[in-house]
Amino acid sequence: MEETLHLNIKDISHLLKNREITSFALTEFYIKRIKKYDSMISSYLKITEDIAYEMAYEANKRLEKKEGGMLTGIPLGIKDILCTEGIETTCASQILKGFIPPYDATVIKKLKKEGFVHLGRLNMDEFAMGSSTENSSYQITKNPWALDRIPGGSSGGSASAVAAGLCVASLGTDTGGSIRQPAALCGVVGMKPTYGRVSRYGLIAFASSLDQIGPITRNVTDCAIIMNAISGHDPMDSTSIPQPVFDFTEALGKDIKGLKIGIPKEYFIEGIEPDVKKSVIECISIFEKNGAHVEEISLPHTEYAVATYYIISPAEASSNLARYDGVKYGLRVDGKDIIEMYKKTRLKGFGREVKRRIILGTYVLSSGYYDAYYRKASQVRTLIRKDFEEAFKVCDLIVTPVSPTTAFKIGEKSDDPLKMYLSDIFTIPVNLAGLPAISVPCGFDSLGLPIGLQIIGRPLDEARILNAAFFIEQEKKLKKIPDMFL
């Protein structure tokens, strides 16, 4: 079963369909790995062992009848922000402790239709607010490549579990880089689809105009396979795009000759670690040597992206999180009257970073400040989107670093929120513009820590992004799982 750690989903599916292995045995293998190794990295909040074995049993029955698709019998981990019927979903927050959704998110329904196996709930920054998974109210997840370092966030549990081989692949969410940044820091592949490409129904909202669900995988082929399963129009989500979805795996392996690649000068700034810059430039040279046309472009409003994001996202969060009041579900701390009950529940239920963002968001939406902050930020967001529109008139894809640094040490930025926020400087503009982007491993720094390459495309151009990422993956052939987990 060890060999499955080095195979893609397509190859594992072939073994399952040929009855060379069973889903039950594969699931047992991954659950044993979780029990053996997860104490080192704390990626799982909950192992859904009994449910996983039931789903594996059902998958075996489908496979025996020669039914099922590519994901039938494949064990996946799920970020604890996606509603799953009958399974506790907490968003790594005390305020949702004990909340058991009565329905499945659309992406979970789609995966169930495919016949996946649900291994468990993956740790995250509380309500997806963070870049290090240090803001979880339950545990701090560690980077499998260096246990004293963060895995990135907010989908840190999803990325670390994949990197350590504790699931075949996982789902994460990306509001300002929360799939791509942890994928880069953990040496795996992470895709943020076009806003509206994947249904958000059943995703517990942080910032509704920015949130997007996507795959975190060990290779690009797996990323394409999961994108096939979760994409598509959903009438339950008013922002879902009514566009047909084709097989993304068919886009892989195509010639990149003639591809026009833009390199934004604003993304190669002071503060980027030399090893990160070197790895990204090496990838750009590889593209060029293989027939792609590379040219410098400008995204002039990039410098305002972080400030814009930290007005818009807290504003939306303050509205979305108002529903957690101790009345309908989750934590309730009684008081002498309803107002005191609200205060006590939120004081105990929300963590420090969530409170910070709620306060900030409430302030920028308040009377007298709305025009000065939120309206202005919305106008700048439009300018950022127009920068990308102009850039895509002269290029097909944009290539940048994912993060200015590799994984930093646990606790290094905890007391400096601004420093932490700046770690998402290269990923945030993509969410503000609603574009698709991927993080693909492109090298290691001098300490052996992974580096990620970001490839950004036009709306709904995931196929071209995946093909470019696949090309780099084939050229680089980097190690996927750290030695301590093999």
Structural domain boundaries in the chain: 2-256+437-485
The pLDDT of residue 246 is 85
Place of tokens 């084709």: 246
For 134, 143, 407, the CA distances from 148, given in Å and listed in that order, are: 12, 7, 10
The pLDDT of residue 270 is 78
Q: Identify whether 131 is a catalytic site residue.
A: no
The pLDDT of residue 423 is 85
* Mean pLDDT, all residues of the chain: 96
The pLDDT of residue 464 is 98
The pLDDT of residue 421 is 83
The catalytically annotated residue of 131, 137, 154, 199 is: 154
The catalytically annotated residue of 42, 93, 178, 199 is: 178
- Contact by Cβ (8 Å): 313, 176: yes
The pLDDT of residue 261 is 98
Secondary structure E strands in 182-324:
189-192, 213-217, 260-264, 293-297
Cβ-defined contacts of 49-56 (< 8 Å, 24+): 49/120, 51/87, 51/118, 52/27, 52/117, 52/118, 52/119, 52/120, 53/24, 53/27, 53/28, 55/27, 55/115, 55/116, 55/117, 55/118, 56/22, 56/23, 56/24, 56/26, 56/27, 56/117
Q: What is the CATH number of domain 2-256+437-485?
A: 3.90.1300.10
- Contact by Cβ (8 Å): 59, 73: yes
The pLDDT of residue 367 is 84
The pLDDT of residue 422 is 83
The token duo for 233 is: 């129009």
For 60, 112, 138, 160, 479, the CA distances from 146, given in Å and listed in that order, are: 37, 34, 21, 11, 15
The pLDDT of residue 328 is 87
The catalytically annotated residue of 13, 23, 79, 403 is: 79
Q: Identify whether 439 is a catalytic site residue.
A: no
The pLDDT of residue 111 is 98
Determine how many CB atoms are found less than 10 A away from the CB of residue 246. 11
Those residues with Cβ within 8 angstroms of residue 210's Cβ, 6 or more apart along the chain or in another chain:
175, 176, 195, 309, 312, 313, 316, 431, 432
Among candidate residues 147, 131, 13, the one with its CA nearest the CA of residue 70: 13
Residue 77 Rama label (left phi>0; alpha psi -120 to 50; beta):
beta
Q: Give the burial string for 397-418 (b: 16+ CB within 10 Å, else e).
A: bbbbbbbbbbbbebebbbeeee
Distance between CA 49 and CA 75 in Å, rounded?
11
Orientation angle between helical segments 305-320 and 352-365, nearest 10 degrees? 100
Among candidate residues 377, 373, 384, the one with its CA nearest the CA of residue 301: 384
Q: Is the dihedral of CA 103, 108, 114, 116 positive or negative?
A: negative
Amino acid making up residue 204: I
260-264 and 397-401 strand pairing: parallel
Place of tokens 């990039």: 302
Place of tokens 């503000």: 432
Distance between CA 94 and CA 387 in Å, rounded?
40
Q: Is the peptide bond preceding residue 154 cis, with omega within 30 degrees of 0?
A: yes
The pLDDT of residue 79 is 98
Distance between CA 472 and CA 477 in Å, rounded?
8
Q: Identify whether 209 is a catalytic site residue.
A: no
Distance between CA 198 and CA 214 in Å, rounded?
8
- pLDDT tens per residue, the chain (486 residues)? 999 999 999 999 999 999 999 999 999 999 999 999 999 999 999 999 999 999 999 999 999 999 999 999 999 999 999 999 999 999 999 999 999 999 999 999 999 999 999 999 999 999 999 999 999 999 999 999 999 999 999 999 999 999 999 999 999 999 999 999 999 999 999 999 999 999 999 999 999 999 999 999 999 999 999 999 999 999 999 999 999 888 999 999 999 999 999 999 999 887 899 999 999 999 999 999 999 999 999 999 999 999 999 999 999 999 999 999 999 889 999 999 999 999 999 999 999 999 999 999 999 999 888 889 999 999 999 999 999 999 999 999 999 999 999 999 999 998 888 788 888 999 999 999 999 999 999 999 999 999 999 999 999 999 999 999 999 999 999 999 999 999
Q: What percent of the chain has pLDDT over 70?
A: 100
Place of tokens 């640094």: 405
The token duo for 40 is: 């080192």
Among candidate residues 357, 373, 356, 355, the one with its CA nearest the CA of residue 365: 373
Quick: pLDDT tens for 77-136: 999 999 999 999 999 999 999 999 999 999 999 999 999 999 999 999 999 999 999 999
For 145, 147, 153, 174, 184, the CA distances from 410, given in Å and listed in that order, are: 13, 9, 12, 21, 17
